[in-house]
Amino acid sequence: MKVYVDPDLCISCGLCIDTAPEVFDWDENQKAHAIVDEVPSDVEGDAKEAVENCPTEAIKEE
């Protein structure tokens, strides 16, 4: 599983970083971004939860 954040849709609420800190962090523009290429299997559930709960649907699953 891979995830990608569309920076044009991200409103910097921080939910994904709280939900899956092993997968998301802030970039230099204070937008969330994926910090791993491939989501580790043990945090895939957290990553999927972040995808589902993003208020602007900015996180795409690849």
Residues that bind ligand SF4 (CB under 6 A): 5, 10-16, 32, 54-56, 58-59
Residue 43 DSSP label: G
CB of 38 to ligand SF4, least distance (A): 19
Residue 12 or 61: the one with the smaller Cβ distance to ligand SF4 is: 12
Residue 40 or 55: the one with the smaller Cβ distance to ligand SF4 is: 55
Closest Cα to residue 48, out of 12, 5, 16, 9? Answer: 16
Chain centroid to CA 48: how far?
Answer: 9
Q: How far apart are CA 55 and CA 62, in angstroms?
A: 19
Residue 14 or 40: the one with the smaller Cβ distance to ligand SF4 is: 14
